[in-house]
Amino acid sequence: MSKVYVIGLGPGADRQMTLEAAKVLEKCQVIVGYTVYVDLIKSQYPEKLYLTTNMTQEVKRCRMALDEAAAGKAVAMVCSGDAGVYGMAGLMYELGEEYPGVMIEVVPGITSATGGAAVLGAPLMHDFAVISLSDLLTPWAQIEKRLKAAAMADFVICLYNPSSKKRRDYLKKACEYVLEYKSPDTVCGIVRNIGRDGETHRVLTLEELKDTETDMFTTVFIGNEETRQIGGKMVTPRGYQYV
């Protein structure tokens, strides 16, 4: 039976790519993905056949991968981070029902939540929620409900897709919802270009975060009431008794 691998490249598709992902890519003949993500690995695998699409053409991209696999080729569908976290894994399984002769195997990767957390320190040591602020596929009313519920329960909150050219004020609105339940002094952090050239990060308060500009390459972390700065790092204590 033919197989297509759905592979998470990690945040930067270089030093944070898993050994398993690199091994599977070596044996694939065809690599399919969003243009920006494919460009991250072309120099590492120059002999492969690359098929790409732009943003919002996810269905077309998945069918391209399934068609190539159905034709007997070893295929990789690549995603940034982890393919099962806002990636292509779910859609591949949905569309895969149309290709009974093609097996799908997901190869996990480091997602922005864990990659960014490592840069900031240890913000995810206790319960946390991951929420995307992109309303392309999720109604904003639903995003608002999830933000308020996570804030009310005092989860550490990790935000994907906090802003874009068309959504410049979304992070500000999200912070305003969260401020209904969390202190303005709540320790927060932002990381941009995780694992890539030009990686930057900053630890700041929730009040400062509200007026901070971000983009689609930024991951945002909002602490809980126990989160604090230790040596310039963002740390959420797990609750161990050591005194």
Q: Which CATH class is domain 2-107?
A: alpha beta
Residue 20 · residue 26 · CB < 8 Å: no
Q: Where are the alpha helices (DSSP H) in 2-139?
A: 19-27, 35-39, 58-70, 89-96, 112-120
pLDDT (0 to 100) of residue 1 = 75
Listed by start position, the domains of the chain span 2-107, 112-235
Kindly state the greatest CA–CA separation across the chain: 63
Torsion of CA 51, 110, 218, 226, to 10 degrees: 160
Q: Are strands 30-34 and 49-53 parallel, antiparallel or unpaired?
A: parallel
Position 209 confidence tier, pLDDT thresholds 50, 70, 90: very high
**pLDDT for residue 200 is more than 80:** yes
Report percent pLDDT > 90 for the chain.
90
Torsion of CA 164, 165, 166, 169, to 10 degrees: 70
Give this prediction's pTM: 0.94
The CATH superfamily of 112-235 is Tetrapyrrole methylase, C-terminal domain (3.30.950.10)
Q: Are strands 2-8 and 75-79 parallel, antiparallel or unpaired?
A: parallel
Strand partners, 75: 4, 30
Give yes or no on whether 2-107 and 112-235 have one common fold: no
* Amino acid present at 99: Y
Position 241 confidence tier, pLDDT thresholds 50, 70, 90: confident
**pLDDT for residue 143 is more than 90:** yes
Collapsed DSSP state (helix, strand, coil) of residue 7: strand
Residue 199 · residue 192 · CB < 8 Å: yes
| Average of per-residue pLDDT across 134-163 | 97
